[in-house]
Structures are given as C-alpha cells and as structure tokens.
Structure 1
Amino acid sequence: MIKKIGFGLIFIANVIFAQNKPVKFITLDPGHFHAALVQNKMYENVEPIVNVYAPAGQDLQDHLKRIESYNARTKNPTHWKENVYQGNDFFEKMISEKNGNVLIIAGNNRKKTEYILKTAEAGINILADKPMCIDAKGYELLKKAFVVAKKNNILLYDIMTERSEITTILQKELLHTPAIFGKLEQGTPQNPAIFTESIHYFYKYVSGSPLKRPTWFMDVSQQGEGIADVMVHLVDLAQWASFPNISLTNKDVKINSAKRWPTPMTLSQFSTITGVSIFPDFLKKDLMNDSTINVFANGEINYSLRGVHTKLRALWNYSASEGGDTHFSVMRGTKANIEIRQGKAEKFVPQLYIKPINLSENELNLAFENLKNKFPGISLIKQNSEWLVQIPDSYRTGHEAHFGEVMDRFLDYQAKKQLPEWEVPNMLLKYYITTKALEIAKSAR
C-alpha cells in the first residue's frame, strides 16, 4: 500500500513538473520585424535563451539588432540571449535538434505553411505571424497542419494583435450591448452591415527607427498579396466581434466579389526602404517599366457571414504625408452604429464613436454605466449628433506592445495545452476566406 501511494505521489509530481516545464523559444528565419516584437518583453516561465535558426544574411542581422536594442534600452530592458545557427539547412537543423518547445515564425511566407506542417509533425508548438498561408495550395497544407497539431497535442496559433487594441475591444463590447446597439443589421452587398478599411505604408517607423524592409517583401509570391496578408486581420476581427465564442465553418460564408490592384513603387522608393540599388531578378516579373514595379498589395472582399454582409478593404501606400497606418471600421446596428476612426480629425489616434439611430441620450447613458464598470475610466463626450468614447491612456498600450499581449495569451493556452474550442475552426475559416477571395479576384481580371 505504501509503495502504491509513493508511486502515486511520484506520478503526480511528474505531471506537475511537466505542466510547469519552462517554455523555450525557437525563432525560425526571422525576416519580418514581428519576430522581434514578441520579444519586446520578458515572460514568466520562459527561458531567456532563444535558439535562432536562419540563413546568413541581412534579415537575420536586422533581427538580432532589434533584440539587442530591447536588451540595451534604459526602460524595462530585456535580457534575451540569442543562440544562433546560420546555414542554408536551418530548417532541417531546427527539426533535428528540436531545441525548444515553442516555435516563433515571422518572415518570408513562400514556404511558411510547409514549415508549419513539418514543425507540427515534429511535435513543437507554433506561434505564427499572419498569414499562415497565402494561397489555396497553402490552405490545404494548413488544414493538414491543424489535424497533425491535434494528434500531437500541440498548439498552432496565429498572431492576431488587433484583438488587443482597446477600440476594437470596446467596439465588440458595444456590439453585444443590445440596449445601445440593438441587433446587428444584415445589410446588403451595396450597403454592408460591417465595413472595415485598413491602410498601411511601406515606409514607416518601428521601435523608434525607420523600418528596413527585406527585398522579398515587395514580391507577392513570397510575402503574399494584400488580400491574403493584411486582410487576415480584418476577416478575423469581423468574425471575432460578430460571432464571439462560436465555431464557424465554410458553410457560413458566401463570397460575393473580390478584387485586387497594385501599388506602384519606383526604384528610388524601393532603394530607400531596402538599401538595395537595383530590383532583384525575382521582381522583374512585376516591372511596369525600367524604374517602377507593381506590388499587388491592395484588395477588397465583399461577402456574407451567416447572412451579415461584410465588406473589407486592405490598402498599402508607399508613405503617409502625415500620421501612419490607419484603421476605419463601422458596425451597423438597429439602435446605433459603432465606428472606429483614425484620421486627421483624430490626430491619427484610433477613436471610438457611437452614432445613435434609434437611441435616446438617456438610454445610452444608462446602458453605458455597465460598460464603465467593466472598463473603469471610460466616459462619453457628446460631439454634435454622435458620442465619442473617451478612453484613458492607460488602455492604449500601442501596436508594438500588442505582440507581447498576444504571447501572454498563447503562453496561457500552452500551459493548459488547449485553445478555446472555437479558435481552430475560425482560424481555418478566415484563411479559407482570404485564399478563396484571392482566387476569385485573380480570375476576375
């Protein structure tokens, strides 16, 4: 009897040890600055040594410089130690050594889905930057990867930073406050119930410095078209806000139309953001003339999700005359519309507005008290016929900090060995929408 109890205690101790096993990051071919942003802070129960596997080159050096800048800063310095393997066999080396239990992948997307599938087969958890696939072929591989991940009891998750933005959080809260919003309209293709437009810029600042883009970022066969890249965020927000905690499938979607168009980029502009004086051979296919390429970075999808008509638009311009990336979103309800605006009038800071349709001031103020209890410090300011939701600065953590917040969520899921039940089907749905829409847009030209 004593032996049985002793064995039981040992078994329980081993289970607890396994659950509390420190997380060890692996970074694979970090060609995108998002790979560094998830290390913008330290995490409890995560080892400071990170094993990096990449081909030699500027992408790797830029990544290591960003990590070192976090370590060297005066305020809240990190203490990461990057253990680097350089070589063309970087992926095979990573798989064979398996020196970590969470892979971070944010870079060239051409082979990303293939890497995801093989990493899942190796039994390593994966946190992947969007997009996890950029075309229909990649989508089929991604479906296999999720099957393998489930079989191997590991997590596969993508980095959805916009869910951490306070204006999108509050927009979702108001959408599900019937006393203010009413019910979500169904809309029509011409007048959708949900419309979102996201504008990005090739030339921008990150972590206080001008962002240096890799040359392949302008090649849509490696980065992905806008309709399959940035659009992932917009599709995610539409279903996350409209149908929270509900598992959705392809049968819930009808794509009405999709289109794509290019952003012209001159050689001078290309050189400014890459430091390279000539177009590489892989961009010759995109030449308009000797000094300008077409980058198919823009896209629009018009579809319905469970009967709710949705229109999403992702745009890329070269640079902003003022401000930076912007986000506009409107969700139409029977009692009020909820809008996020980030234009010049908002000084390029995202702001949230309530536009009453069939909503009295008294009804609004009364119902808003419940939201104030959940988010202390927020308030309403009347501006002509609409209301601005005043948000304290403490809630505005900023886009770069959102990567750490996503990692916090992922580590919590990883400790529990489980994602929310709806996450996997909804991840698959959004990549079905983006890749299917890309096929439709290409066939329409």
Structure 2
Amino acid sequence: MNRQKSLFSLAAVATLMACNPNKENVQQKDIQLITVAPGHFHAALVQKSMYPEVDSIVHVYAPDGLELDAHLALIDRYNTREDKPTAWEQVVYRGDDFFEKMLQERKGNVVVLAGNNQHKIDYITQSVDAGLHVLADKPMVINADGFAELKRAFATASEKGVVLYDIMTERYEINTMLQKALSQVPDFFGGLVTGSVEDPAITKESIHHFFKEVSGKPLVRPAWFYDTRQQGEGLVDVTTHLVDLVQWESFPDQVIDYHQDIQLVSATRWPTKLTPAQFERSTGQKQIPSFLSEAVDENGNLEVFANGEINYMLKGIHAKVSVIWNFEAPLGTGDTHYSIMRGQHANLIIKQEKEEQYKPVLYVESTGTRDRQAFESTLTKAIKQLGATYKGLTFEQVGDGRYRITVDPSLVTTHEEHFAEVTEKYLGFLQSGNMPDWEVPNMIAKYYLTTKALAEARTVRSDQTN
C-alpha cells in the first residue's frame, strides 16, 4: 500500500461521533471497534488487552447463538479477572441481518473479523467498500475465487484510504524474531543457500490440535469448524502463518511479486479422522450434523482435510511449509513448531519437542565451512550486535558445533499475548496513516500461494476431496 494521508481527519472523527449520539459524558476516542460474527476465539483475544487510542465501547453484530454467547463470556472474563482487568463495554445486536445492520448503523470505524471463513471475504469486501478499516483473522480467503475478490478489496482499500490487514501473530514469537535477525547478519549467516525440493533452504512445520485449552478453559469448537467449505482446508488455514514467516524472515522489507517471485513446485493434502466421541468432546454435539455427512467415512468417522504440504520457490530459494492437525496433544504438551533456515555458514533451527519441554527454543548450528574458533567468533559478534535490541541475548554450546540461543524471560510472550502486539502494530498504521509498502503485495502473494496450492493438491488427489 502506498503512503496515505492521515486516516483520521477531524471531519471523519466528527462524523463517527455523530453516529453515536447516545454516548454522553464519555470521551470518545478516534478508533472504535466493530466485532462482526465472532465465531472464533481469536476475536476475543484482540480484546484481551486495552489500548489507549481505542474506545472502550465495542459494538458487536452477530446472529444469536452459542458462538456469540461464548465470545461475550470470554470478554466478561477479561473484564472481571484480578490481574489487569479490562473495561470493555459490549453493545450487542443479535439477528440474522447482523451484517446489514452493521453497515447501516456504522457504530465504529474498524471491523474485527474472526469466525466462519466461508463468508469472510464477503464481509471484507463490503466493509472496505463502505470505507471501514478491517482487521481480519487468518485466513482472509480459502479458495481461488476468494483470492480474486481479495485483490479487488485491497485495490478498493487503497482508493478509499482504509487499512485492510490480517492478524499474523507468529511474527511476535521471540525465537522467530531472533531467527530472522540472525539470518540478516551476513558475516555470521552467509545468506540463505538455494536448497532443493529434497532439502529446502527454509522449512516450517506446524502441529496443531483440535481439542485444547484457551485462557485456562477447554475450547468448544463450533461444528462448522470441521467443515472445510466453511473453515477452509489446512493448506489455506494455518499455512497462512507459515508462508507469511517464510517471506517475512527470508526477504524482510522486500516486495514479493507473486507473478514473478513465486513458483509452486508441489502441494499435497490428507485428512485427520475424528471419531464420533471425539467430535462430541470437541463440539458438545452428540451427533455429527448433516452438513458434514459427505465427510463421514464408512466407519462413521469424520474426515477433515486439515493437513497439507507446499513445496515452492520464493525468489529462487526452495521453501517448504507443512501443517498437521491431531485431535489432542499428549499430556503436558501442546501445539508445536519446527523451523530451519539454512545458511552458507550456519543453520538456524527452532525446535519445540520434549528436549525443549515443548517450548520453542532457537539453536544455531555450524555448517562446517569454518572451524570452531572462527564460527564462535562470528557468533559472538552477531550476538553482541543484536544484544542492543534483544535484552539478555546469550548463547551456550550444547553439542559439537551446536549452540542454544536464549534471551531475558521478559521478552518471551505467549500466543495469546501476541494478539495485542499485532493489534498495536495495526493501530500504529491507523494513527500514522502509513503502512510499509511491502505489506499489501506480500499479503496478496501469501494468499495467492495458499489458494493455488489447494487447487493443485485437489487436482493431484481428486479422489480425496470432500
């Protein structure tokens, strides 16, 4: 997106205040949130923290039902917790015409979207057409048709001076930040190798679980979450994060032109099977609903195409991303992440296994191009260089040519805390009227790859489509 004029002129603020004539004795702030159809808990995580520039009154528009109730209950828990309680006031409209009502009333200027992905692109395009900013949970789109609409939405957003952005929380995980930072120290890393399909220059693998806890309580999934026509397949869901990180780490601050810079090599997909008992445990529903009947196998198990792998080239560098969904993590574990960036002189590896107590840890590994003394010397210089930015940055040898990287514990934040960091970044864009020129083309490139990979995988394994 090109640099824009200030997004909040006095006239715009006055117009927005006129939309809320009943707000008396309350200082209205420039940014007012509108939450639309919050069917995913990520919508609530945006409000786990308060923001000085954001009005405490949030207008919520959604169909009546358990999903809305769960969202409001989670916000209430944040408001009533003992440690740093929030002070959100939810003004709720319940009804099947929720989206039309939202557009009619325009009770705010930033639409927050996190829920059923089937209609998300429709909500995005209509909100942008109406001149509303949009902060959307991933994925913005789940198929090629949606991708075409997304490109149009970004063009309209540019014309109208509004900001359309997706929630990329993984950029704020400290080990990923350090992996990126170390890869950008040429004397130490030596630049990415080209790699190959068999041994890519950069690999990212993610394992997730359908049954988990959120904010200390078991997560109840809506039944539609298991319908890939509504949620999207694994290739276009979690892989959005992984593709984003490949671009963000490997070519920081650079524009990715999907026409020239991305070549899809291969894509595959496969299902996770859930028993009826697992489905009930996850959703609370005793029977698998009829809209999922086509995904039920001969044994009565639900097949969800949540798993996938994409091999591709980005600016001439081989990359691979893959995602796996299991039902539940073993006791004491959780979602895990593996990543490697292979450089001329060093490999940067993030692991999250038993050895790491299932918490992400960054390792540096010598490729053997330098002797031990020379490698440790360049590593020491790199750590010293980055130490001004990352408090307590150190390394220790844990094997022959292998070192563990650590930082001060204050820099380690949780996945839930990352939502506030993304939101703060987005609010900065809104207030300054500027967003880096590479953000929009790189979002477009990301969704081009995921939707193209899905189309390719369905062609290769058409017998598995549901």
- How does the TM-score come out when normalised to structure 1? 0.95
Q: Secondary structure of 1:255's match?
A: strand
Alpha-carbon distance, 1:367 to partner:
2.7
Is there any run of 5+ residues in structure 2 with no aligned partner, and where?
A: 1-7, 17-27, 462-466
Once residues 133 and 13 of structure 1 are traced to their aligned partners in structure 2, the CA distance between those partners, rounded to angstroms, is 31
Query: Which of 127, 130, 135 is 1:122 aligned to?
Result: 130
Name the residue aligned to 2:445. 429
CA 265–16 in structure 1, closer or farther in 2 if over 3 Å, else same? closer
Name the residue aligned to 1:260. 269
Name the residue aligned to 2:182. 174
Once residues 246 and 10 of structure 2 are traced to their aligned partners in structure 1, the CA distance between those partners, rounded to angstroms, is 42
1:356 aligns to 2:358 (yes or no)? no
Query: Which of 386, 399, 406 is 1:371 aligned to?
Result: 386
8 Å Cα contact 1:155-1:418 kept in structure 2: no
1:113 aligns to 2:90 (yes or no)? no
Once residues 17 and 94 of structure 1 are traced to their aligned partners in structure 2, the CA distance between those partners, rounded to angstroms, is 18
8 Å Cα contact 1:172-1:241 kept in structure 2: yes
Once residues 154 and 127 of structure 2 are traced to their aligned partners in structure 1, the CA distance between those partners, rounded to angstroms, is 11
Alignment of 1:287-306 (within 5 A): 287-289=296-298, 291-306=300-315
8 Å Cα contact 2:271-2:305 kept in structure 1: yes
Name the residue aligned to 2:357. 347
Once residues 412 and 63 of structure 1 are traced to their aligned partners in structure 2, the CA distance between those partners, rounded to angstroms, is 26
Q: Secondary structure of 2:207's match?
A: strand
1:326 aligns to 2:342 (yes or no)? no
1:198 aligns to 2:214 (yes or no)? no
1:74 aligns to 2:82 (yes or no)? yes
Alpha-carbon distance, 1:16 to partner:
11
1:249 aligns to 2:257 (yes or no)? yes
Q: Secondary structure of 2:297's match?
A: strand
Q: Which amino acid aligns with 1:398?
A: T
Alignment of 1:400-439 (within 5 A): 400-439=416-455
Query: Which of 386, 392, 402 is 2:408 aligned to?
Result: 392
Once residues 407 and 223 of structure 1 are traced to their aligned partners in structure 2, the CA distance between those partners, rounded to angstroms, is 23
Name the residue aligned to 2:24. none
Query: Which of 123, 135, 140 is 2:143 aligned to?
Result: 135
Q: Which amino acid aligns with 1:368?
A: I
CA 290–384 in structure 1, closer or farther in 2 if over 3 Å, else same? closer
Once residues 458 and 410 of structure 2 are traced to their aligned partners in structure 1, the CA distance between those partners, rounded to angstroms, is 44
1:82-141 C-alpha deviation (Å, 9 max, x unpaired)? 100000001100111111000000000001001100000000000000000000000011
- How does the TM-score come out when normalised to structure 2? 0.91
Q: Secondary structure of 2:420's match?
A: helix
Once residues 254 and 329 of structure 2 are traced to their aligned partners in structure 1, the CA distance between those partners, rounded to angstroms, is 38
Alpha-carbon distance, 1:363 to partner:
2.3
Q: Which amino acid aligns with 1:342?
A: Q
Alpha-carbon distance, 1:378 to partner:
1.4
Alpha-carbon distance, 1:15 to partner:
7.5
CA 14–313 in structure 1, closer or farther in 2 if over 3 Å, else same? closer
Q: Which amino acid aligns with 1:82?
A: Q
Taking only the aligned residue pairs, the percentage that are identical comes to 47
Q: Which amino acid aligns with 1:265?
A: L
Is there any run of 5+ residues in structure 1 with no aligned partner, and where?
A: 1-11
Name the residue aligned to 1:237. 245
8 Å Cα contact 1:185-1:308 kept in structure 2: yes
